[in-house]
Amino acid sequence: MSDMNIYASKIAVLADFYLNYRDQDPYKDFAEYNDIGLPLAYVVHQNLVETNPEGRAFIEETYELLCSAMDIDSEQQYECFEDMLNEQEMGTQEP
């Protein structure tokens, strides 16, 4: 898969998180800490802005932090935040 498709998937996941989960416990603290990367991913996903290298770095860092916080593989491609939740749940069920 190309780097742009992987990057677009990261944007989609972060935009989904921003739109649907940022105000829910236990995600509020993460959303507050990532107060640039999350809304930036959302507006990029909505095609309202394009990112420069600095903006891309914010989005990449936010995605890595989210994967780390959830203890899931950041190299795995997810379509939406729910996919990440499912991956996290599967990881906690392994012996």
Q: Is the pLDDT of residue 31 over 80?
A: yes
- How much is the pLDDT for 95? 52
Query: How many Å is the Cα radius of gyration of the chain?
Result: 13
Q: Determine the pLDDT at residue 4.
A: 72
Neighbours of 42 (CB within 10 A): 18
Band of the pLDDT at 94, cuts 50, 70, 90? low
Indicate the residue type of 47.
N
| Backbone φ, ψ for residue 2 (5° rounding) | -75, 160
pLDDT tens digits for 41-75?
Answer: 999 999 999 999 999 999 999 999 999 999 999 99
**Short-list 1, 4, 8, CA closest to 80:** 8
